[in-house]
Amino acid sequence: MEDELYLENIDEFVTDQNRIVTYKWLSYTLGVHVNQAKQMLYDYVERKRKENSGAQLHVTYLVAGNLIQNGHICHKVAVVREDKLEAMKSKLATIASVHVYSIQKALLKDSGPLYNTDYDIVKTNLHNCSKFSAIHCAAAVPRTSAEVSQVQTSVQAGSQTPSDTNAVSVPVVNGHGPSTAKQTAQQPKGIMGMFAAKAASKPQDTNKETKAEAKEAPGVSAVSSKPPAKGNIMNNFFGKAAMNKLKVNSVLEQPKEEKEVVKPSVPVAEPESSPNPVVEKPGKKTESARIQQKDKKSKMKRVDKSDNEEERVPENLKKKRKRIKKLQSDSSDEEDVPPSPMPEEEKAPSPPPVPALKTELEPASTEVSAGGKKRKRKRVLKSKMFIDEEEDCMVTEKVYESESCTDSEDDFAKSKPPAAHKQPVLPLRKEPKEERKNLKKGAATANRANKQVSIMGFFQKK
Amino acid sequence: MTTLTRQDLNFGQVVADVLSEFLEVAVHLILYVREVYPIGIFQKRKKYNVPVQMSCHPELNQYIQDTLHCVKPLLEKNDVEKVVVVILDKDFHYFLPMVSNTCLCRSVLEQLLRAFILKISVCDAVLDNNPPAYHFSCRLYLHRSGSHTGGCHTEHGKDPGDKGE
């Protein structure tokens, strides 16, 4: 008798009111257990089909079971239309549950109305939502107000509950849940999906604990690498400048490789450079060390507000010195003015020789006699660089040397003795910087007559 | 920070805003359910905490917005009796009930609007299939004023500026 009454109610809902009757909605409306509601819906469909008046009825089913996908076993729960029920059942390896989900007269185009149907009924019965449910948990007890306030304060402090809820809502066991969730989340957003994709592609750069980072397993490694990541941000700043300089001077190494070298090596260099610059042994210099030197130079020179591009990198200096070697007459060495106040601490010897050149030139100019071409010996202040192995640093020393020169050929003659003097030193690799500096001086003095004194001579008068 | 009183808010404007928003959602959903346009141009959106379908076609969206922009002042004046979406060549009247000027709390209003959206979703059960060649129009029926009934309509596919009757 009661069954007949229930079936009449269902018939009224479906046929007269043209409602979508889901098992959950029926359970709350009639006050019956969900399993009983499912059975009632099934009986109604069977009866209507037998009466041949069920043609207007459209039924949706809930199918749950294990699905083997890409070698992984995942549990799938799907709501499908009646015409696709058999196809879904054949896909599943094992079927855990099949029951009627809803009955309606209209053919549904998507699952939106099903959600809409249950939304209000669940919302009104939110406090006793598990009253007619088949899922029970003795520990699932509503929290007291005190516990709720504690949870809220902990959420505000830690902001970790979103990641936990996501872990609960999206199963990560099979490894397929997060990816599918991402796909379904990105598809309907359209333009917003572009931003989401970009945000997902930058988990390593950001230090935020977002949901995407919590979902992704490799994101954990990104989180663990935060301190070096922070260092990388600063180092990339210098690394980029060093890269540009390398490109300008046509470095042999590829930029990509250098970047890869810079990134791991610069974190080592940065703590050294910032507090106390540690000078490396010249014999042990590797490519990474050279790059570190470059970075240090760049840093120093940015601090000193230097405009010279050639003073950054020892390789660049080497190359420029090579150019100086070849040309010996043309040079922009006068522009290579290093205003660094502490040349001894630098690994690269670029700054000192140029001031020495200028100091050399100035007394030389004063000493030139006004009368014709006469050979003279002059005392010229020269700076000599050598490596102090005890302290592992480059030391610049200003020494007066006597040189022979004439009035008109004063500058050219000066270049000869240092070149001749240093020729046997050329093949040596240990002190290439010193000889290059001397050559640089000679070339600089040779060209001194042809070019204006640069403004940097103002700083070198001391 | 200033607080707005009810007088400042202009209750009629608020109602007109709410209704025009709902009408836009309803028109899009009707076009989706009745398959007036291909399903591919529709995108799932969220309104009133439930999923709804909205068109992505810019011209169609602009047409619907322009139409409702004309309806809004009449809603503020409470001159609108009903708004009808008609699929021509086969009359399809879908009457949108007007909300009376009683004070409704937001939750109840949303519940009513959700129920209306749900009804639109199942309207296929009570309607026949569309004819092969058809287009839709929005018709606006106003309250009787004097001896004649005011009304106007716009049809998509024709100049939206046309006004009939």
Mean pLDDT for A1-28 is 89
- More reliable by pLDDT, B42 or A412: B42
Tokens describing residue A407: 């009035």
pLDDT at residue A448, rounded to an integer: 53
Of the partner residues A18, A117, A188, the one whose CB lies closest to the CB of residue B126: A18
Distance in Å, alpha carbon of B48 to nearest chain A alpha carbon = 10
Q: Is the pLDDT of residue A253 over 60?
A: no
The closest CB to that of B122, out of A104, A110, A188, belongs to: A104
Model confidence at B160, in pLDDT bands (50, 70, 90)?
A: very low
Vertex A147: Cα angle to A141 and A148 (nearest 5): 90
Average pLDDT over all residues of chain A: 65
Residue in the structure block whose two tokens are 């011209």: B59
pLDDT > 70? residue A439? no
CA of B42: which chain A residue's CA is closest?
A188
Residue, of A143 and A99, whose pLDDT is higher: A99
pLDDT digits (tens, 9 = 90+) for A42-55: 999 998 888 876 56
For residue A402, what pLDDT is reported? 84
Residues of chain B contacting residue A104, judged by C-beta atoms under 8 Å apart: 122, 125
Q: Which range has the worst mean pLDDT, A300-304, A344-348, B35-39?
A: A344-348
Answer whether residue A233 shows pLDDT above 70. Answer: no
Q: What is the mean pLDDT of residues A199-216?
A: 49
Query: For residues B106 and B33, which has the higher predicted lDDT (pLDDT)?
Result: B33
**A110/B56 touch (CB, cutoff 8 Å), yes or no:** no
Q: Which residues of A touch B25 (CB under 8 A)?
A: none
Higher pLDDT, A147 or A334: A147
CA closest to A105 among chain B residues: B125
Greater model confidence, A371 or A80? A80
Residue A260 has pLDDT above 80, yes or no: no
- Which chain A residue shows the shortest CA-CA distance from B128? A106
Residue B5: what pLDDT? Answer: 58
Amino acid type, A343:
P
Q: What DSSP character marks residue B54?
A: E
Nearest CB to A106: which of B51, B117, B125?
B125
Choose the closest CB to A116 out of B33, B43, B114: B114
CB contact under 8 A, A115 and B56: no
Contact B15, B79 (CB under 8 A): no
The CA-atom distances, in angstroms, between A82 and each of A10, A108, A257 are 19, 11, 59
* Closest residue to A115, CB basis, from B43, B51, B111: B51
Comparing alpha-carbon positions, the chain B residue that sits nearest to A16 is B126
Residues of chain A with Cβ-Cβ distance to B126 below 8 Å are 18
Residue A116 and residue B121: Cβ atoms within 8 Å?
yes
Helix H, strand E, coil C: the string for chain A is: CHHHHHHHHHHHHHHHCCCCEEHHHHHHHHCCCHHHHHHHHHHHHHHHHHCCCHHHCEEEEEEEEEEEECCEEEEEEEEEEHHHHHHHHHHCCEEEEEEEEEEECCCCCCCHHHHHHHHHHHHHCCCCCCCCCCCCCCCCCCCCHHHHHHHHHHHHHHCCHHHHHHHHHCCCCCCCHHHHHHHHHHHHHCHHHHHHHHHHHCCCCCCCCCHHHHHCCHHHHHHHCHHHHHHHHHHHHHHHHHHHHHHHCCCCCCHHHHHHHHHHHHHHHHHHHCCCCCCCCHHHCCHHHHHHHHHHHHHHHHHHCCCCCCCCCHHHHHHHHHHHHHHCCCCCHHHCCCCCCCHHHCCCCCCCHHHHHHHHHHHHHHHCCCCCCCCEEEEEEEEEEEEECCCCEEEEEEEEEEEEECCCCHHHHHHHHHHHHHHHHCCCCCCHHHHHHHHHHHHHHHHHCCCCCCCCHHHHCC
Burial of A196 (0-12, 13-18, 19+ CB in 10 A): middle
The pLDDT assigned to A62 comes to 95
pLDDT, mean of residues A416-427: 45
Q: With contacts defined as CB-CB under 8 Å, which chain B residues touch A21?
A: none
Q: Is 70 exceeded by the pLDDT of residue A235?
A: no
Q: Do B122 and A18 touch (CB under 8 A)?
A: yes
Please name the member of B117, B123, B124 whose beta carbon is closest to the beta carbon of A116.
B117
Residue B145 banded pLDDT, cuts 50, 70, 90: low
Q: Which of A18, A111, A190 is facing B125, going by the closest CB pair?
A: A18
- Nearest one of A225, A262, A267 to A241, comparing CA atoms: A262
Predicted TM-score (pTM) of the model is 0.48
Does the distance separating the beta carbons of B117 and A106 come in below 8 Å? Answer: no
pLDDT top residue among A94 and B138: A94
CA distance A329 to A447: 6
Give residue-wise pLDDT tens across range B10-57: 777 888 888 899 999 999 998 898 888 899 999 999 999 999 999 999
Distance from C-alpha of A184 to C-alpha of A192, rounded to nearest angstrom? 13
Most confident of the following: A141-145, A274-278, A415-419, B49-53: B49-53
**Among A11-20, A80-89, A259-268, B105-114, which stretch is predicted with the lowest mean pLDDT?**
A259-268
- Which residues sit opposite A394 in a β-bridge? A387
pLDDT number for residue A255: 46
Looking at the predicted structure, is the pLDDT value of residue A210 above 50?
no
Chain B residue set in contact with A, beta carbons under 8 Å: 32-33, 39, 43-45, 49-53, 56, 111, 114-115, 117-119, 121-126
A243 pLDDT exceeds 80?
Answer: no
Dihedral sign from CA coordinates of B35, B39, B41, B47: positive
Backbone angles phi, psi at A22, to 5 degrees: -95, 160
User: Over 80: is that where the pLDDT of A384 sits?
Assistant: yes
pLDDT in the model for residue B40: 92
For B124, the closest of A19, A107, A110 (CB atoms) is A107
pLDDT classification of A460: cutoffs 50, 70, 90:
low
Query: What CA–CA distances, in Å, run from A242 to A186, A249, A251, A259, A339?
Result: 39, 11, 11, 10, 19
Among residues A101, A98, A129, which one has the least CA distance to residue A115?
A101
Chain A residues with a Cβ under 8 Å from any Cβ in chain B? 18-20, 56, 104-113, 115-117, 119-120, 188, 190
pLDDT band at A385 (very low <50, low <70, confident <90, very high): confident
The whole-angstrom distance between A117's CA and the closest CA on chain B is: 7
| Residues A233, A213: Cα–Cα separation, whole Å | 19
| Predicted pLDDT at A152 | 87
Q: Are the Cβ atoms of B43 and A19 closer than 8 angstroms?
A: no
Q: Does A163 or B134 have the greater pLDDT score?
A: B134
Distance CA B21, CA B142 (A): 19
Task: Among A108-122, A431-445, B57-71, name the one with the lowest average pLDDT.
Answer: A431-445
Looking at the predicted structure, is the pLDDT value of residue A88 above 90?
yes
Contact B43 A105 (CB under 8 A): no
Residue contact A110–B51, C-beta within 8 A: yes
Mean pLDDT of A310-332: 47
Q: Phi then psi for A380, rounded to 5 degrees?
A: -115, 135
**Contact status, residue A316 vs residue A249, Cβ threshold 8 Å:** yes
Cα distance from B107 to chain A (closest Cα, Å)? 11
CB contact under 8 A, A116 and B51: yes
Residue burial A160-188, b: 16+ Cβ < 10 Å; e: rest: eeebeebeeebeeeeebbbeebbeeebee
B75 pLDDT more than 60: yes
pLDDT at A84 over 60: yes
CB contact under 8 A, B118 and A106: no
Q: What pLDDT is attached to residue A445?
A: 53
Mutation target vs B (from A60, A103, A114, A119; most B CBs, 10 A cutoff): A119
User: What residues are paired with B53 via a beta bridge?
Assistant: B44
Nearest CA distance, A97 vs chain B (angstrom)? 27
Measured distance CA(A19)–CA(A7) in Å, rounded: 15
Distance from the Cα of A157 to chain B's closest Cα (Å) equals: 29
Q: Are A18 and B122 a contacting pair, CB within 8 Å? A: yes
Indicate yes or no: CB of B44 within 8 angstroms of CB of A120.
Answer: no
Task: Please give the average per-residue pLDDT across A115-134, as a whole number.
Answer: 86
Kindly compute the dihedral angle of the four CA atoms of residues B151, B155, B160, B165, in this order, to the nearest 10 degrees: -30
pLDDT of residue A214: 44
A373 compared with A452, residue with greater pLDDT: A452
Name the residue with higher pLDDT: A124 or A294: A124
Q: What is the band of A451 on the pLDDT scale with cuts at 50, 70, 90?
A: low
Summarised one tens digit per residue, pLDDT across range A155-196 is 888 776 565 555 555 555 555 555 444 544 444 445 444 445
List CB contacts (< 8 A) between B33 and chain A: 109
**DSSP H helix total and E strand total for chain B:** 4, 6
* A359 and A380 Cβ atoms separated by less than 8 Å: no
What does chain A come to in residues? 462
Select the residue of B45, B118, B125 nearest A116 (Cβ to Cβ).
B118
- pLDDT band at residue A358 under the 50/70/90 scheme: very low
- Does residue B4 or residue B105 have the better pLDDT? B105
Token pair for B95: 């009457």
Q: Nearest-CA neighbor of A246 among A297, A285, A173, A306? A: A297
